[in-house]
Amino acid sequence: MRLVRFGEFGRERPGIRDTQGVLRDASAVVDDYRPENLSEDLIARLAAAELPKVDEANVRYGPPLARAGTIWCIGLNYALHAREAGLEVPAEPIVFSKAASTLCGPGDDILFAKGMTKLDWEVELAVVIGKPALAVAQAEALDHVLGYAVVNDLSERAWQMERGGQWMKGKSFPNFCPLGPAIVTRDEIPDPQDLHLWLEVNGERVQDGRTDDMIFGVSEIVAYLSQFARLMPGDIICTGTPSGVGAGFTPQRWLQPGDTVRLGIEGLGEQSQMVVAL
């Protein structure tokens, strides 16, 4: 199943895209996809319901969650990305976070603020938690996953790397977490370590990788994080990016107002954004 939210900003409605690709309104079953509503029972009720079709003409898609719980991020989690950064492969997952207020729709603008000098792109597989997880074994970790989505883990590298302290300040500007177009439930993705992901800037393919290049796979990441915190429904895990980020080029390349970014993951859909100066 594919969970989507559609409509004007701040007035989105919950929906699904059915097996024929038709958009349907799910608001008769659930008022919105909020962390407290996410469960296997909700998925079952949506699957059993007869939901009305929606005319997709000029429809805007919002983030497939009304709000995020914790947005967890894993750094340097692709072997080729670690190599392009000139860094050693980490012995344990590098964990940081983004502000929940970064969440936005898959087609919403990338905001370019005064003072930004090194705005970078990162296509990533997002994991959405659907059941609380605390100290779970790796063999059971995927049972706690609701589904998967495309995410662009946008980063202001100067704020991230040159301003001291944690990475979070370079990751948390508004609209730095475009998610979607859908949360695809885990039953439709039999192996999250066998997906193609890519990203283009102004039509040029700059990232082109596969999730089998992850140093720590999805089940290992979920189990690992659950050692230190209780993962909750609505938590999003950004699992790392393949090689080809702007910081990895020689000379380095950064997004500028007017640039367009297009990205996607096999089986999960595509996003498209424009960089817009505030």
Q: What is the full DSSP assignment across 147-196?
A: EEEEEE--EEHHHHHSSSS-GGGGT-STT-EEB-S-EEEGGG-S-TTS-E
- Domain, as residue range, for 104: 66-277
Q: Is 25 left (phi over 0), alpha (psi -120 to 50) or beta?
A: beta
Average pLDDT over residues 126-139: 98
In a domain, 59, yes or no: no
Please tell me the distance from the alpha carbon of residue 165 to that of residue 171, in angstroms, as a whole number.
Answer: 13
The pLDDT confidence band at residue 226, using thresholds 50, 70 and 90, is very high
In a domain, 13, yes or no: no
The pLDDT confidence band at residue 105, using thresholds 50, 70 and 90, is very high
127 phi/psi in degrees, rounded to 5: -110, 125
Span 54-73, pLDDT tens digits: 999 999 999 999 999 999 99
Our CA angle for 100, 74, 259, nearest 5°, is 70
Structural domains of the chain, count:
1
Average pLDDT over residues 62-87: 92
Residue that wins the pLDDT comparison between 79 and 109: 109
In a domain, 165, yes or no: yes
Q: Three-class SS of residue 47?
A: helix
User: Considering Cα of 216, then 141, then 62, then 23, what sign does the dihedral take?
Assistant: positive
Query: Do residues 171 and 102 make contact, with C-beta atoms less than 8 angstroms apart?
Result: yes
Peptide bond connecting 181 to the previous residue in cis, omega within 30 degrees of 0: yes
Mean pLDDT of the chain: 96
Q: What are the Cα distances from residue 247, in Å, to 159, 173, 219?
A: 13, 18, 28
The pLDDT confidence band at residue 233, using thresholds 50, 70 and 90, is very high
Residue that wins the pLDDT comparison between 55 and 86: 55
Question: What was the pLDDT predicted at 165?
Answer: 79
pLDDT at 85 exceeding the cut of 90: no
In a domain, 40, yes or no: no
In a domain, 5, yes or no: no
Average pLDDT over residues 154-181: 95
Question: What was the pLDDT predicted at 2?
Answer: 98
Average pLDDT over residues 128-132: 98
pLDDT at 83 exceeding the cut of 90: no
pLDDT at 88 exceeding the cut of 90: no
Question: What was the pLDDT predicted at 61?
Answer: 97
In a domain, 179, yes or no: yes
Q: What CATH number is given to the structural domain containing 206?
A: 3.90.850.10
In a domain, 54, yes or no: no
161-173: string of b/e by CB count within 10 Å (b at 16+)?
Answer: eeeeeebeebbbb
The reply to whether the predicted model has a pTM over 0.95 is yes
pLDDT at 42 exceeding the cut of 90: yes
Q: What are the Cα distances from residue 112, in Å, to 39, 152, 154?
A: 36, 15, 11
Q: What are the Cα distances from residue 106, in Å, to 24, 118, 159, 168, 237?
A: 18, 21, 24, 21, 16
pLDDT at 82 exceeding the cut of 90: no
In a domain, 24, yes or no: no
